[in-house]
Structure 1
Amino acid sequence: MVVALVVSFGYVALGVVSVTGAVRVLTRDPTAAELRRAADVEVARRWESWPSGRIFPERLTYRPGDGEEYEYATRSGIAPETACEASLEPKAAEVLLRHGCRAVLRATYADQLEGVVVTVGVVVFPDQHAAYRARGALSSSPTVLRASAFPGTPAALFNDAARQRGSAERGGPYLVLTTAGQSDGRPAAAVTKGRPQDLFGFVPQLGHTIAQTLATRSLPDCGDRDWEC
């Protein structure tokens, strides 16, 4: 009986210690490392959790040249399809799928003068390491991303044959691609060498803005109702 009582008291003491430890873990503030991990998870989910209009704002600012005033690129539309194969050239799709491409979100913008149109594509990867490796394996050719036209807008005539300039930039678990051409739909092969060199100078700026917006971490705030700690 004495042995049984000792064992019973031991189990009770162990249970009290376990419960006390669990309460401390559940009620303590999160560590800095835990906050960073939660922020990374939130960034990786933005392509699904954010409204499309937040990923692709109606207007994006850019500077057409050094010292010039800022202008606005206006969104013509957001493409409904998100499959990697449908949004990328076959060779590019093969490369990015190999690195874990999950989806490609696309929208097309027209510059303020409506002479240049730009399709911006957000390629989604499982994490930033996969996106980094994909960026290293992919060229920034203007023919990587498929053009997306929208009837009744300045981008109505923009098709794959009209692609003349492109860019690529990684932001967190995303790879943001751009492809641009002239709004009259003229084929790239028909463009003369007399084309102004800075005609497409603003194109990477649009991709950069979207990449930075998607990748900027927002550390959890336990006092904010949008977060649960």
Structure 2
Amino acid sequence: MKGRRPTSGLPRAEGDATPRRDNPLGATTGRRSRVRAWPAANSRERAAVRQRIEMDALQQGVRYRRMFVAMLGVIIVVSSMIVLLGTVGLFAETRSRPLTPAERDQYQQEEIARRWQAWPSTGVFPEEVKYLGLDRAQQYARRIGIAPETECAKGVDAAVAGVLQSHGCVSMLRATYTDQTASFVITVGVAVLKDEESRVSATEELTQDDRVGVLPVAFPGTVTERFGPQQRQRTGWVGAGPYIVFSTAGYADGRTRAAIPPEEILHSELWPAAKSVGNQIAYFLADPPKVPPCTQGNVC
């Protein structure tokens, strides 16, 4: 009909080879184009690649394992050597062996230095102490009492206290004795220094004034009850190890030093007896102990 455009969707006549305009590829309308897929990869090649990857990973793991085993072996060897050397050194150090001269001296010094604490007070101040009386007759001083342990400055005169404190005095021990006839009263004081070197330094500074030294200790109800600082007739000291052993003596009847005229001579037995008692106690404290020959006793 006039005025109507031909419809492009009408079927073509059989044998019409002219392609339709609205399909530039020439495909039939309503039919899907078929695209041919790429051929799949070869399964053998894929297996070979996978096998190579697995082998590389396995070889790397083997290398890591060998490195770890080698490092572990080195650590074990080094540790074993350290343990072995330590065991040998410990055995060499702890096995019994003869003491060296230095070790023998150290053993003696340590043993002497701890006696004032290790011994009972009756060990430091025995009940009886020998001394030589007139005509060198052997006699015994008898202990009356032992004073409580005190500070060094409280057991001596001020002039002596300053020296002891400046050299590290640790403690003061005191006890009072009478001679065999109970005519004299003797107080012995043991000043404990830190070590023997401190004691030597302290004694170099002590005054030679025989009016000062250890303060007397009196015990009420005994022959010593009137023994005080004014009754001291003479004082002295002797060094022994880390100890300074002071002695002072007076008459049991309470006579003061000022009461005795200068021309009157002290009893000839008073000071020798006091000095002998102090020296005996110093000897007990500083007597060198028996040293074992070996580090673990008598068997090396």
TM-score above 0.5 = yes
Name whichever of 167-176 and 7-16 sits farther off: 7-16
- Report the counterpart of residue 138 of structure 2 in structure 1: 70
Of 183, 196, 201 in structure 1, the residue corresponding to residue 252 of structure 2 is 183
Structure 1 residue 98: Cα displacement: 0.3
1:195 is matched with which residue? 265
2:281 to 207, 210, 215: 210
Question: Equivalent residue of 2:213, what SS?
Answer: coil
Residue 159 of structure 2, aligned match among 86, 91, 95: 91
Say which SS state the counterpart of residue 178 (structure 1) adopts: strand
How far has the Cα of 1:205 moved from its partner?
0.9
Inter-partner Cα distance in structure 1 for 2:211 and 2:153: 17
- Partner amino acid for 2:193? F
Contact 2:133 2:273 in 1 (8 A): yes
**Deviation at residue 182 of structure 1 after TM alignment:** 0.6
Matched residue, 1:60: 129
Structure exhibiting the larger radius of gyration computed from Cα positions: 2
1:166-219 per-residue CA deviation (whole Å, 9 max, x = no partner) reads 111000000000111111111110012323451322221111111111011213
- Kindly state the Cα deviation for residue 222 of structure 1 after the two structures are TM-superposed: 7.7
CA distance in 2, matches of 1:203, 1:95: 23
Residue 29 (structure 2) aligns with: none
Q: Does 1:113 align with 2:172?
A: no
CA distance in 1 between partners of 2:173 and 2:267 (Å): 29
How far residue 30 of structure 1 moved from its aligned partner, in angstroms, is: 5.3
SS in 2 for 1:6: helix
Unaligned runs of 5+ in 1: none
Instruction: Judge which range, 133-142 or 194-203, deviates more.
Output: 194-203
Separation in 2 of the partners of 1:27 and 1:64? 52
Q: How many Å apart are 1:81 and its aligned residue?
A: 3.7
Q: Residue 31 of structure 1 is aligned with which of 99, 103, 106? A: 99
Distance (whole Å) between structure 2 residues aligned to residue 47 and residue 112 of structure 1: 26
Q: Work out whether residues 142 and 180 of structure 1, in 8 Å CA contact, stay in contact via their aligned partners in 2.
A: no
TM-score (norm 1): 0.90
Match of 1:162 in 2: 231
| CA–CA distance in structure 2, aligned partners of residues 196 and 4 of structure 1 | 89
| Equivalent position of 1:153 in the other structure | 222
Contact 1:166 1:178 in 2 (8 A): yes
Farther off after superposition, 36-45 or 134-143: 134-143
Contact 1:130–1:173 (Cα < 8 Å) also in 2: yes
Counting aligned pairs with the same residue, the percent is 34
Contact between 2:149 and 2:171, CA under 8 Å: does it hold in 1?
no
Off by >6 Å, runs of 4+ in structure 1: none
The 2-side partners of 1:187 and 1:108 are apart by 17
For the structure 1 residues 95 and 88, does the alpha-carbon distance in structure 2 shift closer, same or farther, using more than 3 Å as the test? Answer: same
Distance 2:241 2:104 in 1: 16
Q: How far apart are residue 151 of structure 1 and its match? A: 1.2
Separation (CA, whole Å) in 2 of partners of 1:35 and 1:75: 34
Equivalences, count: 226
Deviation, 1:29, is 2.6
Mapping for residues 127-138 of structure 1, pairs under 5 Å? 127-138=195-206
Offset, 1:152: 1.8
CA shift digits 1:15-68 (9 cap, x unpaired) = 111112112211233523223212211111111110111110111111124x43
SS at match of 1:82: coil
Structure of greater relative contact order (alpha carbons < 8 Å, 6+ residues apart): 1
Higher deviation after alignment, 121-130 or 34-43: 34-43
